[in-house]
């Protein structure tokens, strides 16, 4: 479903937060480790499966997602100190 104003709010992330809680027991490092493994596995998919640009774009999205999760983890632990 496409939003008309294209702005996100916190409730839009509820499915992602539920996934992290249910599948990674709320452990952001577990999620980033899974993302690392996924990115690594992209290197073993036959080269003709995706174009170079598609492979690069997919890895970029995963790396950006991992970076955002790590930033949340860092900020979360920084505020606990």
Greater confidence (29 vs 43) lies with 29
Render pLDDT for 2-38 as a digit per residue (tens, 0 to 9).
Answer: 445 677 788 788 888 899 999 999 999 999 999 999 8
Tokens matching residue 31: 């999620």
Tell me how long the chain is: 81
User: Half-sphere exposure (CA, 13 Å, Cβ side) for 46?
Assistant: 2
Report the first-to-last Cα separation within the chain, whole angstroms.
Answer: 40
- Nearest-Å Rg of the Cα atoms of the chain is 15
What secondary structure letter does DSSP report for 9?
-
């Amino acid at each position: 479903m496409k939003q008309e104003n294209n702005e996100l709010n916190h409730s839009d992330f509820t499915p992602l937060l539920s996934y992290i809680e249910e599948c990674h027991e709320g452990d952001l490092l577990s999620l980033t480790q899974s993302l690392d493994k996924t990115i690594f596995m992209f290197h073993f998919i036959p080269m003709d499966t995706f174009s170079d640009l598609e492979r690069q774009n997919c890895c970029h999205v995963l790396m950006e997602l991992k970076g955002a999760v790590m930033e949340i983890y860092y900020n979360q632990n920084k505020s606990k100190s």
